[in-house]
Structure 1
């Protein structure tokens, strides 16, 4: 069962899934299921969350929802522990926040052909931490959705625990 955080929709039987069907089961993405991300989720689930909500917003605004879905799924395609990366930072080395988008972009190109639009969305999803500015509306959307999903992934499990405790 494939779902996005705070959504009850099964994602494998709708138009969203048609956009990512050819890449979602690739081993490079499946490997993200073993990596914790934003404390309470996996990096794979985070990418699905960003992918799905970017798709929904772009479709609503009649932008390129297919590219948004694909770029969202690939935007954090890196395999190192970001806390270890930052703790071992040497002077002059780019921080994880600045560097991982380019690593994800290079990894995405090994998975599938990515368009200029998808490359912009992946490489610049950390704007304004990274430079230059995004070139496309879809890139701004994925940037905002990425932060929105990070907040949900951090807060929702805490709220669920409080609700569960009160229900007992």
Structure 2
């Protein structure tokens, strides 16, 4: 899902991410595939844009800077989750804490941004629910983006059903 932002909104979004999305550390996310054939960097940018769009279109009243920056850093874990990392536990459960630790080491975060990053996998991470409006919006935006990327942007095309008919 790519939200349809106006030119003014696109510039506003870019302004919130200046000094955040253009750092060497943030650009490392371009090295890793998130879902389908979408990099972690692209995924985080999409989640930031979807969150921004939802906030604006639904008049949710979020702190836009915190919303966008937290959304951008929500998957700032900096490793290939497709490879085994037994010392880290199951990625789906543990990566929010890793992303938060990485983000806190490199950026000055506020409480809303911390909650966005830490709670974005809720309800999978049952004990870390969204505690602010921004975190709830990013949680929804992440699910929308992840679903689209996983189902519609796969690295190898799915075989059409017509070609598999009659195979057993």
Relative to its length, the structure with more helix (as a share) is 1
* Root-mean-square deviation over aligned CA pairs: 2.5
Give the TM-score normalised by the residue count of structure 2: 0.80
The structure with the larger Rg is: 2
Give the TM-score normalised by the residue count of structure 1: 0.80
1:89-100 to 2 correspondences below 5 Å: 89=86, 94-100=89-95
DSSP-derived class of the 2:76 partner:
coil
1:31 to 23, 28, 31: 28
Gaps (5+ residues) in structure 2?
Answer: 159-168
Taking structure 1 as reference, are residues 48 and 11 closer, same or farther at Cα in structure 2, changes over 3 Å only? farther
Take 2:73 and 2:105, find their aligned partners in 1: how far apart are those partners? 11
What's the counterpart of residue 166 of structure 1?
A: none
Once the two structures are superposed, what CA deviation does each residue of 1:115-144 show, in whole Å capped at 9, x if it has no partner? 001000101100111113221121111111
Greater RCO, 1 or 2 (C-alpha within 8 Å, sep 6+)? 2
Judge which range, 18-27 or 147-156, deviates more: 147-156
Deviant stretches of 4+, over 4 Å: 6-13
